[in-house]
Chains A and B, each alone.
Chain A
Amino acid sequence: MSTKAKASKRIPRVGQGVARLDADEKVRGLAEYADDLQVPDAWYGYIVRSPVSHGRLRALTLDPDYDWSRIVVVTPDDIPGENIVDMMGRDMPFIAHDEIQYRGEPIALVAAPTRKQAREAAAHVRADIEELPPLLTLGEMIDRYKRDPSELHELCAQTIRKGDAERALEEAELVVEGEYRAGHQEQLYIEPQGMVAVPEKDGSVFIHGSMQCPYFINPELCVTLDLPPEKIRVKQSAVGGAFGGKEEFPTLLAGYCALLALKAKRPVKIIYDRHQDILYSTKRHPVWSRYRTGLDKDGTIRALCVEYVLDGGAYTTLSPVVMYRGILHAAMGYRCDHVWVDGYVFRTNTFPSGAFRGFGAPQAVWGLESHVDDLAKACGMTPHEFRLRNALREGDVTPTGGVLRHSVGSPAVLTQTVERSGFVEKLSRCSHGRVSDGKWYGIGMSFFAHGAGFTGDGEARFKAKVALDLEPGEDGWPVVLVRASSTEMGQGTFTILPQVAADGLCIDLNRVRNPYPDTKYVPNSGPTVASRTAMVVGSTVYGAAQKMKKQLEEYVTREFTGGQAVQLVDGQFLTADEKVAMTFEEAATHHFQHRGPLRVYDQFRLPDYLQWDQKNFVGDAYPSYSWGCNVAEVEVDPRTLEVNVLKVTGVYDIGKVLNPVLAKGQLEGGLVQALGYAVMEKIEIKDGLFDASRMQTYVIPTTLDIPEFDLDFVEFPYEFAVPGAKGVGEIPMNGLGPAIANAVEQATGVRMRELPITPETLFAAMTRGASGPLLRTGTA
C-alpha cells in the first residue's frame, strides 16, 4: 500500500494516433449493422409511394382480388398521434393524405412476413390521384426566382445586414459579379438505411437501427405515436457511414417501422436496397448563388452582396438550419464592413433535401471562393496576395459582427498552404489554355472557415449532457463507460471520447469503453452533426471525467488514507509524498462493493461573452471556427478535356488534434468526397426521380482517382472547450470544389460556374461564345 510511484509520467492519450477502439469488431465482421440484427418474428415493411410528383390524393383502395389476410396496411387513419413529421416547418405529413408534393412520397405503408410479399402487397394498393403541375429542377426554380420570386413557394428565408452594402457598392471603384451553381449530391454511405421497431409488452416501442441522432427520433415519435417519452427507447446499431444522410432521415424510417409494428403487434424491419436508398433518401441541397462585390483597385473589399438560394425539395425538414449555415459562410473569411446576404430555400416537387457533411457551407464556399479569384483578377492581384490582404485575423469582425477573439487559425493556414504547395512559383507555370504539346496545367486555391458546433446560440441553449459510468466490466475489472448520445459512424467518436475520458481521469485507455448509445442509458449530448462532437461532447466528457476523478480521490482520502489527500495519477492514487495509496482498479472495486457503481454527469458551457440575435443574425454566429486552406493542382487533357486532379495541399486549424490518425482520415475522406462533388458526382431529376439511382450511374471516386495529398495541421486550441478541439468532420468538404475550379481556370482560361466540372461541361463552356480557346486548332 505504500510503494513509491514509478517515476514514469503517464503519456496523455489525447493527441496520439491510438488505434480505433472499434477496429477489432469491424475488421472481424462482428459489428452488427441494422440488417444483421436478429429480430425473431420480424415482418418486413415496404412503402407505397406516389407515382406522381405533384397532385391531390382522391382515394386509396386495396385491390379486392389480392389476399390481404397476412398483410398489415397503415394509412393516415392508423396514426395514433399527429400525421406530421415533427421537424422544422411541420409541413410534412408522415403519410400523404391530401396534397402530394413529390414522386415517391409515402401514401401508405405495408408489412408482411417476407420482403417479397411486402413488395408485392405494396403493388396492390391503388391510388386515385389528380395530377397537378410540378416544379422539378433547380434550373426552373432559378428561372422563376429571377423572373418573379412570388411564383415560388418559399420554405424559409433569412438575411444578414452589416453596414450599408448598397451604398458601399455604388462608391466602390470596381464591381465584380458572378453566379455559381451546384446540383444534388448523394451521401452514398456503404450501409444503406435500415431500421427495426419492436413493440414491447408494456406498450412502449424499441427502435434499433442505423442512425446519427438517437434523440431526434424520440420527440418525433412522441408526436406521431402519441406516446410519452419514456415509452420510446432508441438504440444505435453499428453504422456503415452516414455523412448527414442518417441525421434526420432515419426518423422517417423509424416512424414507418413503428407505425407498422404497433398495428402488426410484432417487430417490423425496413432495410433499403441501394436503388431505393438513392431514390428515396435525402441529398445535399442544390444551390445557386449570385455575388456582387465592390472593390477598390488596391484590393480592399468595400461591399459584399450575396444571394444564396437552395432547392429544398418538397418540405422544410432541416432546410432553415442548412441555409443559416450557408449564409453564415457565404461571406465569411474576409474583412468587409458592408455585407448583405439574402438566403432562401424554395420548394421543388422532389425528395426533401437534407443534411450532408458541411451542411450548406460547401455550397456557400463554392460560390465565394470561385468569386474571390475573380476579385483578385479584377484588381490585378494573384489569388494568394488578394486573400492574404483581406483574410480575417484575430480581433477582426465577422459578417454578423462577431469578434474573432481566440483560436484563429487565419492567416496561418493560408500562409502555410501557400508555402508548402510552392503556389507562387507554380502559378507562373499555368497553361491558360494556350495550345501546347502536352497537357494543360493549372493551380488554384481556396480559403475557408467552418463554424464549430451548432449555429448561433444553439449550443448555449442546448446544453449538451453526458454521463460517465464506473462499473464492473465483463472481465470483472472496473470500466468507465462513456454515456453520450453521440454516435460512431466511422468517423471515430468511440475512440476520441474514451481518449478524452482517460485523460480527464488520468487512467489507462483500456479501462474506458464507449458503448452504442441507447436512450435508456444515455443523457442527451445532442445529435452527431455540425462537427460538434469533438469540441462540445469531448469537452463535456472531459469535465465529467475530472468530476469522477475528484470524487474517487475524495473517496480514497476518506476511506483509506485517513484524510491524507491523494491524487489519481496514471491509474494510481498518490499521496503528497508520491506514495502509492492504491490503484484505480482497487479503489473502483471497493466502491462497487460498498457503494455500488458510480455515475457522474456534466453539461456543456460556453463563455458568457458570446452574444447572438437569432432574428437579425447579429453577433457570434459560432463559438469558434475551424480554418482551412486548399491548393489543388490539375491537368486538363486538351485532347479530351478530362480533368485530372494531381495533388491537393491543405493545412487546417481544427483546434487541438485529438487523434492525428483519425483526423487525417477525416481530411482525406472528406477531400475525396469533395473531389467527387467537384468533378464527378452528377445526379439530376428525370420524371420527378433522381436519375443516377444506382452505383452503376452515380459515379464517385475510386482509389485510382485520388490525388496525391499533402496535408497538415496547425493547432489553435479552443481554450473554452478543453482539450481544445474545434471540429474536423465537415471542413474537408468545404473548399476543394472552388480550388479545383480556380485551377481549371488557370489551366484552360475558362471560368467554370457549375459543379461538377466534367469534360462535357468544359466542352460546352469552351465552345460557347468566344471565351475559350479554339478547340479545333491542332495540338501537335
Chain B
Amino acid sequence: MSPVSTLKTFEDIDCTFPKTLQEALELMADEKTRGVPLAGGTDLMVQWESGALPMPERVINVKSIPELREISEADNEVVIGGSVTHMELRQSSAVRRAVPSLAEAAATIGGFQIQIMGTLAGSVANASPAGDLAPSLLITDGTVTLAGVRGEREVKLTEFWKGYREIDRQPDELIVRFRLPRLPEGHYESWRKLGARKAQAISKVMGSSRGRMKDGVVSCFKVALGSIAPTAVRLYDVEQWIVGQPIHDETLKEAEQRVADAVKPIGDIRSTAEYRKWVSGRLVRLFLEELAARSG
C-alpha cells in the first residue's frame, strides 16, 4: 500500500550546506536546526522514494565538509574522512596499501555514478547487512570517530554496529573519520563478493580476511562476513581455531564446516538461508587457500 501521510517530494525538504565541521556540529546540536545527515544520498534518496523512510523536514549536507574528505597516512594506520567516496577509496594508493580489501570492496559498489556519490560514512551509518565495506573495516580492528559540539568520541568498529540498521551514534553526532590499522608486513588480505550478476549487484554474501602464515602454520587470521546476519560479523571462534594450524585439505574442510555451523543466515529475495550458510564456509576456505598460496 502506498504510504498516505508521506506525500512529500524532494523539493519539500529543507537542505543546509555547512562549510565547516564546526558549523555542521552546531546545526546538529540544536533540535531546531538539526537535520538528517546527507552525504551522497545514494541510500537516503532511494529509501525516501520507496517509502522505507519518511522524508525529513531538514537535511544537513555533509558531503562537502572539507574535514570529512581527507585521507592521510600515519605510522601504523590510515585515517579516512567520513565523506570520502567509494571512487576515492578504490583509487587511493594509501588505502590500497593499508587496507587493500577495502579498496577492492569499494570498487564493487554499484556503478561509477554510485561510487562517485556514495561515501564511507554513508555506507557505515546506513548499516545495511549488505553494506560491502563493513567486513574490510571489521578485520582491521580499527575505530570510528564521532563528533558533537561537546567533543569527539572514538568507538571500536567491532562494537559500532548494534543490530539491524542500528549504530552507536547520538542524534547530534556526525561520523568524522575512520582510523584503520594498516596491513602489517607479511600479512595478506582477501575479499570476495557474491552477487546475482557481475556488476551492480547487492551482495548475497561477501567477506574479507586479513592473515599471516609463519613457519607453515597460520599465525594470525581475522575474517568477517556480511549479508549473513543483521550486521556484518567477525568469526572469532573460527579465527581462534585456525591459528596454529597448517593449511591443508583436512584443516580447510574443518574450517569450512566450522564457518557453516557458526553462521545463521536468513533467506530473502537475494538468496536462500541454505546456500548462504554453505557458501559462507566456502568463502572462508577460499580465503585460507589464498593466504596459503600467497604466503608461498
Q: Are B4 and A701 in contact (CB under 8 A)?
A: no
Q: Mark A697-728, 1 if CB is under 8 A from B, else 0.
A: 10111111100000000000000000000000
B194 on the A face (CB < 8 A): yes
Which residue of chain A has its CB nearest to the CB of B285?
A639
Which residues of B have CB within 8 Å of A758?
196
- B residues 27-71 touching A (CB-CB < 8 Å): 46, 50
B75 on the A face (CB < 8 A): no
A613 on the B face (CB < 8 A): no
Q: Which 6 A-B pairs have the closest CB atoms?
A: A704-B198, A699-B196, A123-B4, A760-B275, A760-B272, A704-B199
Knowing A123-B4, A758-B196 are in contact, say whether A778-B253 is a contact too (CB < 8 A): yes
- How many chain B residues sit at the interface, stated as a range, is 20 to 34
Which residue of chain B has its CB nearest to the CB of A681?
B196
Knowing A51-B1, A705-B197 are in contact, say whether A696-B274 is a contact too (CB < 8 A): no
- B residues 200-234 touching A (CB-CB < 8 Å): 200-202, 204
A300, chain B: closest CB distance, angstroms = 42
A-B contacts, 13 of them at CB < 8 A, read A640-B194, A640-B283, A697-B270, A701-B197, A703-B199, A704-B199, A705-B198, A705-B199, A760-B271, A760-B272, A764-B274, A767-B278, A776-B256
Knowing A691-B269, A760-B271 are in contact, say whether A120-B197 is a contact too (CB < 8 A): no
A642 on the B face (CB < 8 A): yes
Q: Are A780 and B269 in contact (CB under 8 A)?
A: no
- A residues 683-702 touching B (CB-CB < 8 Å): 691-692, 694, 696-697, 699-702
Q: Are B272 and A764 in contact (CB under 8 A)?
A: yes
B279 on the A face (CB < 8 A): yes
Q: Are B199 and A120 in contact (CB under 8 A)?
A: no
Which residues of B have CB within 8 Å of A697?
269-270
- B residues 1-18 touching A (CB-CB < 8 Å): 1-2, 4, 7, 9
Q: Are A692 and B269 in contact (CB under 8 A)?
A: yes
Residues of B within 8 A of A (CB): 1-2, 4, 7, 9, 46, 50, 194, 196-202, 204, 249, 252-253, 256-257, 269-272, 274-275, 278-279, 282-283, 285-286, 289
Which residues of B have CB within 8 Å of A692?
269
Q: Are A119 and B282 in contact (CB under 8 A)?
A: no
Q: How far is the CA of A123 from the CA of B2 in the complex (A)?
A: 8
Q: Are A639 and B2 in contact (CB under 8 A)?
A: no
A23 on the B face (CB < 8 A): no
Which residues of B have CB within 8 Å of A776?
253, 256-257
Which residues of A have CB within 8 Å of B270?
697
Q: How far is the CA of A701 from the CA of B279 in the complex (A)?
A: 22
Which residues of B have CB within 8 Å of A700?
197
Q: How far is the CA of A696 from the CA of B196 in the complex (A)?
A: 11
Q: A275-B50, A760-B274 are in contact. List 8 more A-B contacts (CB 8 A).
A: A640-B194, A680-B197, A699-B196, A705-B198, A758-B196, A759-B271, A763-B272, A776-B253
Knowing A640-B194, A702-B198, A758-B196 are in contact, say whether A780-B249 is a contact too (CB < 8 A): yes
B227, chain A: closest CB distance, angstroms = 13
Q: Are A778 and B278 in contact (CB under 8 A)?
A: no
Which residue of chain B has its CB nearest to the CB of A766?
B278
A599 on the B face (CB < 8 A): no
Q: How far is the CA of A763 from the CA of B194 in the complex (A)?
A: 14
Q: How far is the CA of A697 from the CA of B200 in the complex (A)?
A: 11
A775 on the B face (CB < 8 A): yes
Q: Are A119 and B1 in contact (CB under 8 A)?
A: no
Which residues of A have CB within 8 Å of B286?
639
Which residues of B have CB within 8 Å of A119?
2, 7
Q: Are A116 and B7 in contact (CB under 8 A)?
A: yes
Q: Are B278 and A763 in contact (CB under 8 A)?
A: yes
Which residues of A have CB within 8 Å of B201?
699
A268, chain B: closest CB distance, angstroms = 19
Which residue of chain B has its CB nearest to the CB of A701?
B197
A381, chain B: closest CB distance, angstroms = 35
Q: Are A640 and B198 in contact (CB under 8 A)?
A: no
Which residues of A have CB within 8 Å of B282?
639-640
Which residue of chain B has its CB nearest to the CB of A704?
B198
How many A residues face the partner with a CB closer than 8 A? Answer: 34
Q: How far is the CA of A137 from the CA of B21 in the complex (A)?
A: 54
B288, chain A: closest CB distance, angstroms = 10
Q: How far is the CA of A767 from the CA of B1 in the complex (A)?
A: 39
Q: Are A778 and B249 in contact (CB under 8 A)?
A: yes
Which residue of chain A has its CB nearest to the CB of B12?
A116
Which residue of chain A has its CB nearest to the CB of B292?
A780
A535, chain B: closest CB distance, angstroms = 35
Which residues of B have CB within 8 Å of A763?
272, 274-275, 278-279
Which residues of A have CB within 8 Å of B9?
116
Q: Are B249 and A759 in contact (CB under 8 A)?
A: no
Q: Are A680 and B249 in contact (CB under 8 A)?
A: no
Q: How far is the CA of A763 from the CA of B276 in the complex (A)?
A: 10
Which residue of chain B has its CB nearest to the CB of A763?
B275
Q: Are B50 and A702 in contact (CB under 8 A)?
A: no
- A residues 298-329 touching B (CB-CB < 8 Å): none
Which residue of chain A has its CB nearest to the CB of B256?
A776
Q: How far is the CA of A700 from the CA of B275 in the complex (A)?
A: 21
Which residues of A have CB within 8 Å of B283?
640
Which residues of B have CB within 8 Å of A701?
197
Q: Are B194 and A759 in contact (CB under 8 A)?
A: yes
Which residues of A have CB within 8 Å of B285?
639
Which residues of A have CB within 8 Å of B269?
691-692, 697
Q: How far is the CA of A557 from the CA of B194 in the complex (A)?
A: 73
Q: Are A759 and B2 in contact (CB under 8 A)?
A: no
Knowing A116-B9, A778-B252, A778-B253 are in contact, say whether A640-B196 is a contact too (CB < 8 A): no
Q: Are A696 and B253 in contact (CB under 8 A)?
A: no
A277, chain B: closest CB distance, angstroms = 14
Q: How far is the CA of A123 from the CA of B6 in the complex (A)?
A: 12
Q: Mark A758-777, 1 if CB is under 8 A from B, else 0.
A: 11100110010000000110
B153, chain A: closest CB distance, angstroms = 34
Q: Are B202 and A702 in contact (CB under 8 A)?
A: no
Which residue of chain B has its CB nearest to the CB of A639?
B282
Q: Mark A275-308, 1 if CB is under 8 A from B, else 0.
A: 1000000000000000000000000000000000
Which residue of chain B has its CB nearest to the CB of A683?
B269
Q: How far is the CA of A275 from the CA of B46 in the complex (A)?
A: 12
Q: How far is the CA of A704 from the CA of B108 in the complex (A)?
A: 12
- A residues 649-682 touching B (CB-CB < 8 Å): 680
Which residues of A have CB within 8 Å of B196?
680, 699, 758
B49, chain A: closest CB distance, angstroms = 9
B46, chain A: closest CB distance, angstroms = 7
- A residues 733-766 touching B (CB-CB < 8 Å): 758-760, 763-764
- A residues 110-147 touching B (CB-CB < 8 Å): 116, 119-120, 122-123
Q: How far is the CA of A701 from the CA of B197 in the complex (A)?
A: 7
Which residues of B have CB within 8 Å of A640?
194, 279, 282-283
A480, chain B: closest CB distance, angstroms = 43
A702, chain B: closest CB distance, angstroms = 5
B163, chain A: closest CB distance, angstroms = 23
Q: How far is the CA of A705 from the CA of B275 in the complex (A)?
A: 22
**Max chain A C-beta neighbours (<10 A), residue from B199, B200, B274:** B200
Q: Are A120 and B4 in contact (CB under 8 A)?
A: yes
Give the residue of A694, A760, A780 whose beta carbon is less than 8 angstroms from that of B50.
A694
